[in-house]
């Protein structure tokens, strides 16, 4: 799990050698009491893409 707000400070998952990374967009500003759906992010390295 990646906290997207920390990616401005820490190395990205790809730079750290991860092939798959996922995160949620809740840290971008919607309060937990918002009640609606939250943005989800999923990323993979180019070598794992389905063709």
Q: Which domain holds residue 44?
A: 4-48
CA distance readout (Å), 36 to 4, 30, 31, 33, 39: 19, 9, 10, 9, 10
Q: Which of 26, 21, 28, 23 is nearest to 45 (CA)?
A: 21
How confident is the model at residue 11, as a pLDDT? 86
Q: What is the pLDDT along the chain (51 residues), one digit of tens a residue?
A: 777 778 778 888 888 898 998 888 777 776 767 666 677 888 899 889 886
How confident is the model at residue 27, as a pLDDT? 75
Q: How many domains does the chain have?
A: 1
CA 32 – CA 51 distance, rounded (Å): 37
How confident is the model at residue 7, as a pLDDT? 78
How confident is the model at residue 1, as a pLDDT? 72
């Amino acid at each position: 799990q990646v906290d997207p707000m920390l990616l401005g400070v820490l190395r990205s998952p790809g730079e750290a050698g991860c092939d798959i990374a996922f995160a949620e967009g809740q840290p971008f500003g919607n309060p937990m009491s918002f009640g609606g759906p939250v943005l989800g992010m999923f990323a993979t390295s180019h070598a794992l893409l389905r063709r």
